[in-house]
Structure 1
Amino acid sequence: MPDPDFDITSLSEEQQLALQQFTSVTDSELNAAIPLLQKCQWNAQIAITRFFDGDADTVDPAAEAARAPPPPPSQPGRRSETLIDSLSPRSHSSRRQHDQRPDTVPRIVPTPDSQLSRPLPFPISLLLLPFNLTYTLLQRLLGTITYLCPFLPRLLSRFRPSPPPRRRHLNPRDTTARFIRDFETEYNLSPHSNTLPFAESGYAQAFDQAKRDLRFLLVVLLSPEHDDTAQFVRDTLLAPEIVAFLNDSAKHELVLWAGSVQDAEAYQVASGLGVTRFPYACLIVQSPAAETGSGGGAGMTRVATFAGPVTAHDFLAKMREAMAKQRPELEGLRRKRREQMEGRSILREQASAYERSLAQDREKARVKREELAQMEKVGREAREKGERIEEARRRREAWRRWRARDIPAEPGSEVRDAVRISLRLLSGERVVRKFRPEAGVEEVYAFVECYDLVQERPEDFSEKEPTGPEEGYEHDFGFRLVSPMPRAVYDVKAGGRIGDRIGRSGNLVVEKVVGEDDDDDEDEEEAGEER
C-alpha cells in the first residue's frame, strides 16, 4: 500500500493519465489503484480488467503489459509539427483526408473461457509440483478439520474481511439477459411499462443483425461504479420521450444493445470502441464510404457519440439528426440490396425454368426410349414366336414325311380279318381304307395325319428323307377320332389294337382339337386379315 502522503506529481504524464482512466472507470481510491497499476506496469486496460474479473493472479500482468500496446498520449487532440510541416500544403490535405475518414467500428467477439487462463509451461509446472502437492494436502487437512469443527470458519470470518462477490462469467446471450434483469430490478421497471427494447443477444449478434438488416445500432455502456450512471439512466434513457422514440424505432430501423463494464463482454466492447468516459452511448450504422475497409466490421461506422451525462432533449435531438442524415444512404443501400435480391431472384427463376424444361425434355426422351424399347421387345417377341412356329412346323413336317414312309400298305383280299374303316376327314372328304387288326390305333391317326403324303408315290420320296423322328420331338395329333353312333372317342393315348377297339368295321369322324396355341394362331390370322 502506498504512503498516504504519496505525491502524485512524481508520476510521469503517461502514469497520471493511466491513473485518471482507471479511477474514472472503477471509482477506486488512490491507495487501491496505484498498487494495482504498478503491478500491471501502468497499463490501465489490464488493470481495469483485473479489477472487474477479480482474477489478477490467473495470468502474469507484467508479461501481458509487455505485450499490450502503449497507452495513448496524454493529449490526443494536440499535434506536434514543425514549421516546414505547417507550410507544406500536402500535409494539410493529408490531415484533412484523415479527419474525413469514417470512424469504422470493429466487430468484437468475447474472449472464450478457454483463453481467459493459460496453462503454465511444463518446466515451470514441474518445478511447482511439490508446492501444488503440499497445497492440496493442506487443503484436505483443513477441510477435514473444518468438517470436524464447523464453528471454526464462522469464528475466523470475524477477524478477516469478506472478499467482494465475483461476477460469474457467462456466454454473451446469458450475460445480456442478466444485465437486462439487473437493470429492470435496479430501476423498478415492470415488463409492460417504461421498458427499453434491449436486444437479447450478445454484441456480435446485435452487430450482425444491424449490418444484415441495414439498421441503426445503438450501443449503451454503463459503469455501476460511476456516479453519473443512475442519473443518466433515470433522466435520459428512461425519459418518456426517449423510451417512446426507441420503442418506435426498434420496430423498423434500430437495434438497441446495452451492457455493464463489470461484464467481460461489455468491457471488451468499451476497449474496442476506445471509451474513456461513462456513461457512454454511440450510434452505429452501415456506411458505403467504409465498405472498402477490412475486418469483420467493414462498412459499420460510428455517426453519433454520447460520453458522460447528457440531457434527454440533447440526446433525442442528436439521435434524430444523425439518423435523418444517414437515412438517404441507408435507403440507397436498401435499394441496391433489393436490386441484387431481385437479380438473384430472376436468376433463380431462370435456373428453375431451365431445370423444368430440362426435366421435361428428359421425360420426353425417357418416354420415347421406353416406347422404342417396347416396340423392339414386341418385334423381338413376334420374331421369336414366328421362329418357334416355323421350327414346330418344320419338325412336324419332318415327322409326317418319316411317318408316311412307315405306314404299311393297305392289306389285300387275302387278309380275311382286315378292319374296314370309313373316315370322314376335316376337309369333308370321305376315305375308306382297310387296316390290319393287329395294328395299333396310332396307325389310323398316322394315316389321317399323313393322308396327303400317303397319296404320293414311293418314288416321290427322296433318299434324304428322315429315317426317324428328331430327338426330343413328341408329335401331338391335332384331332381325334370319334364314332358318331353311338358316340365314342378313340383316344390315341389309350393305345390298343384296331381289331379290339373298333371291331371288323367302323365309321369314324375326324374332329379337330382346339388348343390355346391354335386360338392364338387364329386370332393372329384374323388380325392380319383385318389389317
Structure 2
Amino acid sequence: MNGISHFLGARHADPVSSSMPGSFPRENNDANARSHSHNFKGFLKYLSFALLRIPLFFSYCLLSIIVSTFTYLNKLSDFGLLYNRKTTDHAVELNILIETLSNESLSYNSTTYNFGSIYNPQSQGIVSKSIVESYTSLLNSCTQNFKFGLIYIHDPVNDHSLKFVNEILCNEEFVHLIKKYQMLYWFGSILTSEGLQVSNALKFRKLPAIGLLCLTNSNKIELVYKIEGTLRSSNFAKLDRVLSKYYPQLMILRQQKKNTDMHRLLREDQDARFNESLRIDRERERQRIEQLERENELANREILKKQWLLWRKTQLHTPTQGSSCQIAIRFNGTERTIEKFDPNAPIEEIYVFADLYRNKLLDSDEVYDEPPLNYQHKYDFLLAAPSPRTILEPTILIKDEATIYPSGNVVVEDVVD
C-alpha cells in the first residue's frame, strides 16, 4: 500500500513545482518516474499472486473437510447398524469382540503381552477363566462370590481405542492386579445394545472406558473406579489403592458366606438325618400295621372257614349199608385214617372230610345251619391217588373214579402258594 501511495503521489505532484527555478535537472525527474513505474509493477505482481493463492487455500480446506467427513461417516455407518440389528446372543457378541481385539492387538508391539494371550479363552489366556458372558452374569457372579467386577466398553469409532487396549488392558501391572485380586471381567462394544445400555447406566462420558464394580456395605454393586477416554486418566497406583480399600470388606463377606453355607449344610445334614430316622420309624409303623391287618384278616378268615366247615359237616352224605366206598387217607406222610363214603356223592365229600380232619373239627359239638355270608371256601390241599398218581377232581362222583372205587388210597398234598 505504501508503494501505491507513493505511486499515486508521484502521479499527482504539482507540475508547477517541477518547473520552478532552482529545481533539479530533468534527468533526475526521469529517474524518479522509472522508480515509480517499477513499484507499480511490483504491486501488480503481488496482487496477482494474492488473488491466485486465496482460491487455492480455500479449495484445500474444502477438500480436507470432505475427506474427513467421508472418513467419519464410514465409521458412523457401523454405529448406525446398532439400531437395525436383531437381538443376538451375548456370548456370540463377546466372542466376536475378543477375536477382533486379539487380531488387532497383534500389530501393536509396545507391550509385553497381546490382548489374545491375556483374555482370549480359545487361546487359554492368562486370566481367560475369569471372563463372564454378559453384564447381568457379571453382576450375579460378583454378588454371589463377593469379587470385583471389571468392565471394558470398546469404541471402534475412536482411533485411540487400540492404543487404550494395549497400553492399559495389556499392561503387565494391570494384568497383575487382575490376578492378585481375582477379578471377574466382561467386555462390551458400544455398537451392541448391551454395551450401549451399560455405558449409559454407568454414565461413561468418554469412550473407551474401564469401570471397576464392587459390592459395598449397602449390599449393592457400585462403580468405585473408572478410566475414561484417554491414557492420561489411567493411574494404576490409584487403582491398586481402591482395590486394597475394598478387598478386606469382600474377604469378610466371603467368610460370612462360608460360615452361613457351613451352618446351612450342617442344618441340612441334621434335617436329613432326622427325616431318615422319621422315615424308618414310619416304615416300621406301616409294616406293623400291615402285619396286624394281615393277622386280623387271617384270623377272620379262619373263623369264617371254621363256620363254613362246620356247616358243610352237616351236609355230608351218610353211606348206606352195603353201598359204600372205603378210602384210606394219609396225611403228612405218616398220619393215616380210613373212612367210608357214599359212592354216589362227589369226591368233594372226601375233600370236606380231609379238611375237617386237618382242622380237628370232626368231633366238634358246634353246629352251623347256614354258611357264612360273603365267604368262598378254597381248599389249601389236593387229593391224589398214589398209583398211578392221579389228582382227584372234586366234581367227579366217587364211583366214577376207578383209582379209588370201590376202595383205594388217597394222599393229602399241601398246595404251596
260, 268, 273: which one aligns with 1:353: 273
Displacement of 1:245 after TM fit?
3.7
Displacement of 1:216 after TM fit?
0.4
Relative CO higher for 1 or 2, CA cutoff 8 Å, sep ≥ 6?
1
Whether the aligned pair in 1 keeps the contact of 2:213 and 2:222 (CA below 8 Å) is yes
1:177 aligns with 2:102: no
Q: Describe the shift of the 1:193–1:367 C-alpha distance in structure 2 as closer, same or farther (beyond 3 A).
A: closer
- For 1:338, what is the secondary structure of its paired residue? helix
Whether the aligned pair in 2 keeps the contact of 1:194 and 1:240 (CA below 8 Å) is no
Residues 224-373 of structure 1 aligned to structure 2 (within 5 Å):
224-247=156-179, 249=181, 253-289=182-218, 291=219, 299-310=220-231, 315-373=235-293
Q: Tell me, in whole angstroms, the C-alpha distance in 1 between the residues paired with 2:255 and 2:226.
A: 27
Q: Tell me, in whole angstroms, the C-alpha distance in 2 between the residues paired with 1:273 and 1:319.
A: 18
> TM-score, normalization: structure 1?
0.43
Residues 421-500 of structure 1 aligned to structure 2 (within 5 Å):
442-444=320-322, 479-480=339-340, 493=343
Whether the aligned pair in 2 keeps the contact of 1:219 and 1:257 (CA below 8 Å) is yes
Amino acid paired to 1:222: H
50, 53, 61: which one aligns with 2:80: 53
Residues 372-387 of structure 1 aligned to structure 2 (within 5 Å):
372-387=292-307
2:370 is aligned to none
Q: Describe the shift of the 1:517–1:218 C-alpha distance in structure 2 as closer, same or farther (beyond 3 A).
A: same
- For 2:184, what is the secondary structure of its paired residue? strand
Q: Tell me, in whole angstroms, the C-alpha distance in 1 between the residues paired with 2:187 and 2:351.
A: 102
2:358 is aligned to 520
Amino acid paired to 1:270: S
1:126 is aligned to none
Post-superposition Cα deviations, 1:261-306, rounded to whole Å, max 9, x if no partner, equal 23232122111111111231111011122x3xxxxxxx00112121
Q: Describe the shift of the 1:238–1:340 C-alpha distance in structure 2 as closer, same or farther (beyond 3 A).
A: same
Q: Describe the shift of the 1:442–1:204 C-alpha distance in structure 2 as closer, same or farther (beyond 3 A).
A: same
Displacement of 1:176 after TM fit?
0.7
Q: Tell me, in whole angstroms, the C-alpha distance in 1 between the residues paired with 2:166 and 2:76.
A: 27
Q: Describe the shift of the 1:209–1:193 C-alpha distance in structure 2 as closer, same or farther (beyond 3 A).
A: closer
Q: Tell me, in whole angstroms, the C-alpha distance in 1 between the residues paired with 2:99 and 2:261.
A: 39
> TM-score, normalization: structure 2?
0.54
Amino acid paired to 2:343: K
Displacement of 1:365 after TM fit?
1.7
1:99 is aligned to none
Displacement of 1:187 after TM fit?
0.7
Q: Tell me, in whole angstroms, the C-alpha distance in 2 between the residues paired with 1:383 and 1:214.
A: 74
The answer for unaligned runs of 5 or more in structure 1 is: 6-27, 37-47, 59-111, 114-168, 292-298, 401-440, 449-476, 481-490, 496-511, 526-531
Q: Describe the shift of the 1:519–1:272 C-alpha distance in structure 2 as closer, same or farther (beyond 3 A).
A: same
Amino acid paired to 2:135: Y
- Counting aligned pairs with the same residue, the percent is 17
Residues 68-79 of structure 1 aligned to structure 2 (within 5 Å):
none
Displacement of 1:363 after TM fit?
1.0
Residues 38-187 of structure 1 aligned to structure 2 (within 5 Å):
52-54=79-81, 113=86, 170-187=88-105
Post-superposition Cα deviations, 1:35-55, rounded to whole Å, max 9, x if no partner, equal x9xxxxxxxxxxx99971347
Amino acid paired to 1:264: S
Amino acid paired to 2:311: E
Amino acid paired to 2:152: V
Q: Describe the shift of the 1:309–1:351 C-alpha distance in structure 2 as closer, same or farther (beyond 3 A).
A: same
User: Which protein has the larger Cα radius of gyration, Structure 1 or Structure 2?
Assistant: 2
Backbone CA RMSD of aligned residues:
4.1
Amino acid paired to 2:224: V
Q: Tell me, in whole angstroms, the C-alpha distance in 2 between the residues paired with 1:321 and 1:371.
A: 74
Amino acid paired to 2:193: A
The answer for unaligned runs of 5 or more in structure 2 is: 1-57, 59-66, 107-113, 118-122, 327-336, 364-417
